[in-house]
A = this chain, B = another copy of it.
Amino acid sequence: MPVIRHRLTSRILVGNPLGDPIERELCVYLPPDYDPDSARRWPVLLALVGYGGSGGMLFNLDPVGEPLDARLDRLIASGACPPVIIAAPDCFTRVGGNQYINSAGTGRYEDYLIDEVIPFVDASYRTLPRGQWGVFGKSSGGYGSIVLGMRRPEVFCALADHSGDANFELCYLPDFCGALDAFREAGGPAAWLDRYWADPNRRRSTQYKPLTALGMAVHYSPNPEAPAAHLRVDWPFALDSGEFLPAVWERWRAQDPVHMVDRHVDALRSLRAIYVDCGTRDEFALHWGSRALVRKIAAHGIAVRHEEFDDGHMNIPYRYDVSVPFLARAITGRS
């Protein structure tokens, strides 16, 4: 069955600070046995892509790999996975991606997902009711999954966090020197971002660090009073001298899943399934982030399925072969 492409017009994103579109694509995968006229209801997962992506890319043609719809068709046909609906929203922004939180820097994307995307899917398809959704994603999408799972237990009952941002001192600080260099050369973060969008090639290796640092800063330490040239952000390093600024960093740390766990124990305990995995050669140290996160959760006596595998951060959608069936079974109660 083909992937259905919807266009949603958001009210929540109206007036978002980056001027990003309010009309957004939403892709919905339906399992082969889906029948809109049936009385049956299907489990449904929210899929959150990594930084730089948009939900629809999960279904892009790829003869070397396997698009998500082909993957699911195969898993379901073999019996490895119960039939499941997947909703993949677009949350791309001018700063190159999304962490799937409400932020004064980017907009209310958590609310967009919870209050517009999910209700739309529930209204359009025969899904299991709110409260039984699952959420999964990789990298920034893994971050979004664990954070939404902790903050919205009334919506989600299962989550999978693949190589998700965590233990921010290890995963983010190594990018900052390259970012500071690039901002200095361009005349500041706002000038750098303008130049980025004016460049016809936005996948140069030199762009990765400034774009990531900038994107995270806009999410984690926005400040509407900060200079426009600074992108209205408080930076954790002084842009002119590079000095580390601990007070700003504390704002980032507060949004590190490792440190959010203790504030969301009840929510985590209420979930039916928590899945965390990461490649042991993750280029952004997220295998350590995953370990720290899992340790924090497990310290409360909460079960986590934690897996590691011999790979890095990129090109690992084959891990959905493990996580998606795990979530679908947890939701449907089939083991």
Residues of A within 8 A of B (CB): 52-54, 56-57, 59-65, 90, 92, 96, 167-170, 173-174, 176-177, 180-181, 200-204, 237-238, 240-244, 258, 280, 285, 287-289, 291-292, 295-296, 311, 314-316, 318, 321
Cα distance, A295 to B169, chains bound together (Å): 25
Q: Given the complex, which residues of B lie within 8 Å of A64, measured CB to CB?
A: 52, 96, 202-203
The 3 closest A-B pairs by CB, nearest first: A242-B288, A200-B318, A177-B285
Cα distance, A321 to B321, chains bound together (Å): 39
Cα distance, A254 to B204, chains bound together (Å): 35
CB-based nearest B residue for A171:
B177
Q: How far is the CB of A97 from chain B (nearest CB, A)?
A: 9
In contact, B202 and A243 (Cβ under 8 angstroms): no
Taking A64-B96, A292-B238 as contacts, is the C-beta distance between A244 and B54 under 8 angstroms? no
Q: How far is the CB of A101 from chain B (nearest CB, A)?
A: 19
In contact, B203 and A241 (Cβ under 8 angstroms): no
Taking A61-B57, A63-B54 as contacts, is the C-beta distance between A258 and B243 under 8 angstroms? yes
CB-based nearest B residue for A57:
B61
Tell me how many chains of this kind the complex includes: 4
Sample 14 A-B pairs with CB under 8 A, ordered by A number. A52-B64, A57-B60, A59-B61, A63-B90, A168-B244, A170-B244, A174-B174, A177-B285, A201-B315, A203-B314, A240-B291, A241-B291, A241-B295, A242-B292
Q: How far is the CB of A60 from chain B (nearest CB, A)?
A: 4
Q: How far is the CB of A273 from chain B (nearest CB, A)?
A: 22
Taking A169-B173, A243-B295 as contacts, is the C-beta distance between A65 and B289 under 8 angstroms? no
CB-based nearest B residue for A279:
B201
Q: Choose one: B202, B241, B242; the contact of A65 (CB below 8 Å).
A: B202
Q: How far is the CB of A241 from chain B (nearest CB, A)?
A: 5
In contact, A57 and B52 (Cβ under 8 angstroms): no
In contact, A242 and B318 (Cβ under 8 angstroms): no
Q: Given the complex, which residues of B lie within 8 Å of A243, measured CB to CB?
A: 167, 258, 292, 295-296
Q: Which of A167, A242, A295 has the most CB of B within 10 A?
A: A242
Q: Given the complex, which residues of B lie within 8 Å of A60, measured CB to CB?
A: 57, 60-61
Q: How far is the CB of A235 from chain B (nearest CB, A)?
A: 12
Q: Which of A56, A61, A174 has the most CB of B within 10 A?
A: A61
In contact, A242 and B285 (Cβ under 8 angstroms): yes
Q: Choose one: B170, B238, B241, B311; the contact of A173 (CB below 8 Å).
A: B170
CB-based nearest B residue for A178:
B285
Cα distance, A131 to B107, chains bound together (Å): 54
Cα distance, A285 to B175, chains bound together (Å): 11
Q: Given the complex, which residues of B lie within 8 Å of A241, measured CB to CB?
A: 288, 291-292, 295
Given contacts A169-B237, A238-B292, A242-B285, 5 further A-B contacts (CB under 8 A): A63-B92, A64-B203, A177-B285, A203-B315, A243-B296
Cα distance, A240 to B294, chains bound together (Å): 12
Q: How far is the CB of A1 from chain B (nearest CB, A)?
A: 15
